[in-house]
Amino acid sequence: MITALVSIVVESSRIPEVAEAIVDLEGIEQVYSVTGDVDLIAVVRVRAHEDLAGVIADQLSKVTGVLDTSTNIAFKTYSKRDLDAAFDLGIDG
């Protein structure tokens, strides 16, 4: 499974509508409204790298109100929950 984090700049008057439209796209796990240089961050999960273009370039970037996107592909996931479970099982990290 490929995970990507997409930073999204949106027309400021349309942030809630754009977030709702994006979260309904196939491959989008969550959408966060955030502070900082971007307005939204979407978590994308797909089976293959080739599928990212279908979700991000072909769908997400074409949602009305989306002005710009920047994508970061995750190499590895670190989760406190996963680490705590490993320690409970006696697995050395």
Q: Quick: pLDDT tens for 60-72.
A: 999 999 999 999 9
Segments of 34-88 assigned E as strands: 40-46, 66-73
Evaluate if residue 30 carries a pLDDT over 60.
yes
Average pLDDT, the chain: 90
- Whether residue 8 contacts residue 69, with contact meaning beta carbons closer than 8 Å, is answered with yes
Residue 9, judged by CB atoms within 10 A of its CB (0-12, 13-18, 19+), counts as: middle
Enter the pTM of the model: 0.83
Q: What percent of the chain has pLDDT over 70?
A: 85
pLDDT of residue 85: 59
Mean pLDDT confidence for 13-28: 97
End-to-end CA gap in the chain: 22
Alpha-carbon distance values, 8 to 5, 18, 30, 31, 93 (Å): 10, 10, 13, 10, 34
Residue 28, CA atoms < 13 Å, CB-side half-sphere: 24
Domains and CATH numbers, the chain: 2-88 (3.30.70.920)
